[in-house]
């Protein structure tokens, strides 16, 4: 029997659950600032995805899908209680969307920063230019990994997302864990490009969605945003003029402010709706 994988996750605070999912080449530590920001009123949980931080390594005996990432998180979702909110950045945003589709009744709201569901671009037009930048960057990084050069892989990957020269400007302490994570780059790309869920399926999500983008982001992330924001039923779109794809890492306060405001607004709206139901006059046709 295959042993169930158990994710590592941080948690803190008290109140309704909020599950925060990090980007590739990152870990749950990405959300430390948001956890501190929300802890006074929310129970915040931030897991490491497969192969990240202290969670189990990617299974070597099979192809991993986004559904596998969602399944890994079941203990985290259980600890969050129902219903919970989801926050996701990049790969974590893609996983958040898949989790919401899998369990729509468990999710009360979703805050996304540029989910990277590149499969949606492939479905629209295979091989389109918007997807080629990340396709080629991931392929080059995977080739560097195969050649045993994790630093070269990380440089190609990071410079695609953050701009030329970003890797070399990065402090050495940040480089080491990113370079080691590159062993999974081919798997990340495969999961994101081959996800079979059609675009129209996301139109069935009825929960409020905050969809954040950066004006400086690459075409791949902006292309996915174009498609998803066109079908999500209740999406509020916020574009940060000065930010790129890694906005939650480079400008955490800006992004965390938007997430906190979105969650607080949703909570207030729910409370108002409950209050309205509680005070609604009863009707009696026989009176």
DSSP assignment of 164-232: TTHHHHS-HHHHHHHHHHGGGHHHHHHHHHH----GGGGGG--S-EEEEEETTS-HHHHHHHHHHHTT-
User: What is the pLDDT at residue 272?
Assistant: 72
Strand partners, 211: 112, 237
Mean pLDDT computed over 194-207: 98
CB 121 within 8 A of CB 223: yes
Question: 9-125+198-276: what CATH class?
Answer: alpha beta
CB 205 within 8 A of CB 233: yes
Rounded distance, CA 96 to CA 193, Å? 16
Mean pLDDT computed over 162-190: 94
CB 203 within 8 A of CB 232: yes
Rounded distance, CA 134 to CA 118, Å? 9
Confidence of residue 281 (pLDDT cuts 50, 70, 90): low
- Which tokens sit at 132? 């080629």
List alpha helices for the chain, DSSP H. Answer: 32-38, 66-72, 74-80, 91-102, 119-124, 129-146, 150-162, 166-169, 172-181, 185-194, 219-229, 247-250, 252-279
Helix or strand or coil: residue 241? coil
Mean pLDDT computed over 178-186: 94
Which among 93, 91, 122, 47 has a CA at the least distance from the CA of 184? 91
Rounded distance, CA 219 to CA 130, Å? 5
The answer, yes or no, to whether residue 160 has pLDDT greater than 80, is yes
User: What is the pLDDT at residue 284?
Assistant: 44
Which among 198, 209, 181 has a CA at the least distance from the CA of 57? 181
Confidence of residue 3 (pLDDT cuts 50, 70, 90): low
Rounded distance, CA 43 to CA 75, Å? 15
Rounded distance, CA 218 to CA 223, Å? 9
Mean pLDDT computed over 105-131: 97
Question: In which region does residue 81 sit, left (phi positive, over 0), alpha (psi from -120 to 50) or beta (all else)?
Answer: left
pTM, rounded to two decimals: 0.92
Which among 13, 1, 10, 7 has a CA at the least distance from the CA of 260? 13
**Phi, psi (rounded to 5 degrees) for 142:** -65, -40
């Amino acid at each position: 029997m295959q042993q169930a994988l158990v994710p590592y996750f941080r948690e803190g605070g008290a109140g309704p659950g909020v599950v925060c999912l990090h980007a590739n080449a990152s870990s749950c530590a990405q959300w430390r600032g948001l956890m501190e920001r929300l802890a006074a009123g929310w129970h915040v949980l931030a897991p490491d995805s497969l192969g990240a931080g202290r969670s189990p390594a990617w299974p070597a005996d099979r192809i991993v899908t986004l559904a596998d990432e969602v399944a890994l998180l079941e203990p985290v979702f259980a600890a969050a209680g129902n219903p919970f909110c989801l926050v996701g950045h990049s790969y974590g945003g893609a996983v958040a969307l898949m989790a919401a589709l899998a369990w729509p009744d468990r999710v009360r709201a979703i805050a996304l920063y540029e989910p990277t569901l590149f499969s949606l671009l492939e479905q629209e037009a295979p091989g389109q230019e918007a997807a080629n930048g990340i396709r080629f960057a991931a392929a080059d990084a995977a080739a560097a990994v195969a050649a045993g050069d994790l630093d070269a892989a990380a440089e190609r990957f990071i410079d695609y997302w953050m701009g030329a020269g970003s890797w070399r400007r990065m402090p050495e302490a940040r480089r080491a864990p990113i370079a080691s994570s590159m062993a999974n780059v081919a798997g990340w790309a495969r999961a994101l490009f081959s996800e079979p869920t059609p675009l129209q399926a996301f139109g069935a999500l009825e929960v409020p969605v905050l969809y954040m983008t950066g004006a400086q982001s690459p075409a791949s992330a902006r292309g996915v945003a174009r498609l998803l924001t066109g079908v999500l039923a209740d999406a509020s779109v916020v574009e940060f003029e000065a930010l790129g794809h890694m906005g939650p890492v480079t400008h955490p306060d800006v992004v965390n402010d938007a997430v906190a405001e979105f969650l607080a607004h949703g909570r207030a709206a729910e409370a108002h709706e409950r209050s309205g139901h509680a005070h609604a006059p009863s009707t009696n046709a026989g009176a």
